[in-house]
Amino acid sequence: MNSVELSEISVRDDLFPFTLSRTVLDIRVGILTLKEKWEKRFQYQVGLDNPDTRTANLIPANLIPDDKLIKCIKEGKDWDWIKSHILDIRKIQYPWHIFQNNAEEIGNDYRHITLNRVSKPLSKTNRVFGSGDIFLEDGAVVEHAILNATAGPIYLGPDTEIMEGSCIRGPFALCQGAKIKMGTMIYGGTTIGPNSVMGGEIKNAVIFGNSNKAHHGYLGDAVIAEWCNLGAGSSNSNLQNNAGEVKVWNEPRKTFLSAGIKCGLFMGDYSKSAINTTFNTGTVTGICCNIFGSGLTPKHIPSFSWGYGNFPPYAIERALEDIDNWKQLKNERITDMEVRTLKLIFEQIPKLP
């Protein structure tokens, strides 16, 4: 067997807003996306099922693959058999499961990525704890920083940079081309996706890629998709004042679900916030939101919102133009596929009378 077909039909909607513009397999948790975990760790080609030729009992696409699951698949077991015999299969059912599983998955990915490999040398200008669990790929640069890998590994991908004065505590992953600005404080369970720029204070957060939080402000127990930007001073609450359970908007059910005690911000692709935006505990934003306003944000900010309140939506042509401008800052341009996808999503959102 050299390929696996997975199904996202029954699991896609609950991962709003991240599956509005990507498949479940393209969700990042740990160092790798779910698709990369299957293909790079276990040498499988992975795809999604064709609705026209669907086979019963396909493996759900939101599972986090491990050795037991792979062994069952190699033996030809179907999903009904697997779920009745393996009780501890981990999965990403709701958005908060991304950051809740991230620390463990950084460790799992780290072990597979670095197996039988030697790290590039770490500069002696750094203050280091647990140096045996720090791995630098080609082009990774870190000088005059504090790196603490005693609680989990630190992985620095190709062409990454941690600027001077930063304090990093593992488990932590900095993916290809990403940068950490001077004096940044990062706690464990954090993944910074490719080509992102981060600053301020970050804890137990997952950045999918190509997004910026380049200035001071707090981001914790959060998931930020691609091509997002948090303005200077933007912060999220991740704990209610009464320390009670956090309720998070679930789009398919049109209601709020409990996400536990700690839960911060979920931001869909292409969204951005004005300076000093204060995100409520467990806030969910859709895609293509331009977020500004006074006081705490609402708990749910729909896609293509222009501010929060009864404003007309973000005009689609202006949104596309702004996305292209942001992408040019990272030497990319908006693609025809992105334009078609975003126009389709825009046409489906409710419009004010």
What's the DSSP call for residue 257?
E
CA distance 160 to 136: 9
The structure tokens listed for 162 are 């941690």
Tokens 């919102």 -> residue:
305
CA distance 147 to 112: 21
Whether omega before 158 lies within 30 degrees of 0, making that bond cis, reads no
The structure tokens listed for 175 are 């993916």
pLDDT of residue 353: 47
CA distance 26 to 148: 29
Nearest CA to 304 out of 294, 290, 317, 325 is that of 290
Tokens 């990272």 -> residue:
330
3 state SS of 26: helix
pLDDT of residue 54: 58
Question: Which uninterrupted H or E stretch holds 207?
Answer: strand 201-209
Q: Is there a contact between 65 and 4 (Cβ–Cβ < 8 Å)?
A: no
pLDDT tens for the chain, residues 1 to 353: 567 789 999 899 999 999 999 999 999 999 999 999 999 877 878 888 876 655 667 899 999 999 899 889 888 888 999 999 988 999 999 999 999 999 999 999 999 999 999 999 999 999 999 988 999 999 999 999 999 999 999 999 999 999 999 999 999 999 999 999 999 999 999 999 999 999 999 999 999 999 999 999 999 999 999 999 999 999 999 999 999 999 999 999 999 999 999 999 999 999 999 999 999 999 999 999 999 998 999 999 999 999 987 788 899 999 999 999 999 999 999 999 999 999 999 998 876 54
CA distance 65 to 153: 20
User: Which residue ranges does the chain devote to CATH 2.160.10?
Assistant: 119-301
Q: Is there a contact between 98 and 75 (Cβ–Cβ < 8 Å)?
A: no
The residues pairing with 164 across neighbouring beta strands, listed in sequence order, are none
Classify residue 265 as exposed, middle or buried by CB count within 10 Å of its CB (0-12, 13-18, 19+).
buried
Nearest CA to 58 out of 10, 1, 2, 24 is that of 10
CA distance 228 to 270: 5
SS3 content of the chain, % helix, strand, coil (to 5): 20, 25, 50
CA distance 39 to 37: 6
What is the CATH T-level fold of the domain 119-301, as seen in this structure?
UDP N-Acetylglucosamine Acyltransferase; domain 1 (2.160.10)
3 state SS of 115: coil
The structure tokens listed for 347 are 């046409």
Distance between start and end Cα atoms, the chain: 55
Q: What is the DSSP string of 131-187?
A: GGGEEE-TT-EE-S-EEE-SSS-EEE-TT-EE-TT-EEESSEEE-TT-EE-TT-EE-
The residues pairing with 155 across neighbouring beta strands, listed in sequence order, are 135, 173
pLDDT of residue 310: 78
